[in-house]
Amino acid sequence: MTSLLVIIVLILLSIALWQLTKIFDLTQVGVISDDSQVATDNDNNVQGYLMFGFLAFIYIFTIYGLLKWGGLVLHTPASAHGGDLDSLMNITWLVIFFVQTITQALLYYFSFKYRGRKDQKALYFSDNNKLEIIWSVIPAVVLAGLILYGLYAWANIMFINEDEDTVVIEVYAQQFKWAVRYSGDDNVLGKANVRLIEGVNTLGVDLSDPNSQDDKVATEIHIPKGKKIHFKFRSQDVLHSAFFPHFRAQMNCIPGMVTEFAFEPIYTTSEYRELPFMIEKVSKINAIRAKKSIELVAKGETALDPYTFDYLLLCNKICGASHYNMQMKVIVDSPEDYKKWLSEKPTIVQEVKTANTTAPVDGAIVTDSTKAKDTATTAKVVMNN
């Protein structure tokens, strides 16, 4: 109802303004005015100075944005390849800022210098080979340099040596959550198919595959520091995008195919929390939360909990209404802590067996539900025959 009233008010206000302009036009009857719609020297001068004003606005807002929000960008990368990616990004930004500063200044300067004047005619020439060479060769050389550097970084980041000692982990995306499967002692993931999804086997793991016998499923990602992690991504439903911001890694999760990415974490979670910039950032966040909590408590609401930094896996595609829920904690452990954590996790085969085991009741014999189901099916077939 409120929205409808707002729309009605806006419509009525528009009608009122339209009527006011008509009244203003009536008051100008008999007044001599220039209706030729041809710009005068005064008009051109005003436009020229306004262009300089807009140029100043661009530069001032750019500087203000860097000072105001520059500290919010990601800081120290937590992966071995992150430094290469950040260097490529920083070089690209510097080139963009340099070109933008020069070209915008020249654009508005020439617009002012050669603004229209009475009885002045613009010079026209069809081509200038020197200018063509300059503005074609310089961008081509700069872009070629950026592309070659980018290809070098891409090859270093994306190349995964099959003989290299890695930890193979599957990240499984679905609306609207993540699941993780570890390859176990053999470091080989078993086969999986969405048609096999049933009960606790939410990833559709093929339990008849020998490589699946030691696979383990988890609801959070634990990875060891100093070890290259080979991620394989699948999606159950729509296009998702696995984004590890602090590790400078992102890969699309595409239904019907497996994509992959690898990186080596260089800071454990506890080590990254102790970095000076992170301590300062967490302190600022908690100061804001404490101030907000005072307001909430005054209203009788619950205060906010203090913020603690954690690595996160996010979805970087708008995959549906609850897209914002797709985040999972990533914990980088020491190699020893990682092995201990993984050893305590049951395999997917054990979980399925546990789920299929019927709980004992008063003198009843414990049976495997799968076997019972097979027996019932066999008896039914015999009776039908």
pTM recorded for the entire structure: 0.73
Query: Rounded to whole angstroms, how far apart are CA atoms 293 and 306?
Result: 10
Burial of 351 (0-12, 13-18, 19+ CB in 10 A): middle
* The residue type at 226: G
> Closest by alpha carbon to 356, among 344, 372, 342?
372
Q: What is the pLDDT of residue 34?
A: 60
The radius of gyration of the chain from alpha carbons, rounded to an integer in Å, stands at 33
Q: Whole-angstrom Cα distance, residue 277 to residue 157?
A: 26
pLDDT in tens, the chain (385 residues): 788 888 999 999 999 998 888 887 777 666 666 666 777 888 888 888 888 889 999 999 989 998 988 888 888 999 999 998 999 999 999 999 899 889 989 988 888 888 888 777 777 777 888 888 988 999 899 999 999 998 988 888 888 877 778 899 999 999 899 999 998 888 889 898 888 888 888 888 989 889 989 899 998 899 999 999 999 999 988 999 999 999 999 999 999 899 999 999 999 999 999 999 999 999 999 999 999 999 999 988 999 999 999 999 999 998 888 888 899 999 999 999 999 999 988 998 888 888 888 545 444 444 444 443 443 333 333 334 3
End-to-end Cα, the chain, rounded Å: 68
User: How far, in Å, are 147, 294, 352 from residue 375 at the CA level?
Assistant: 64, 64, 19
Residue 65 backbone phi and psi in degrees, to 5: -60, -40
Residue 182: the pLDDT is: 92
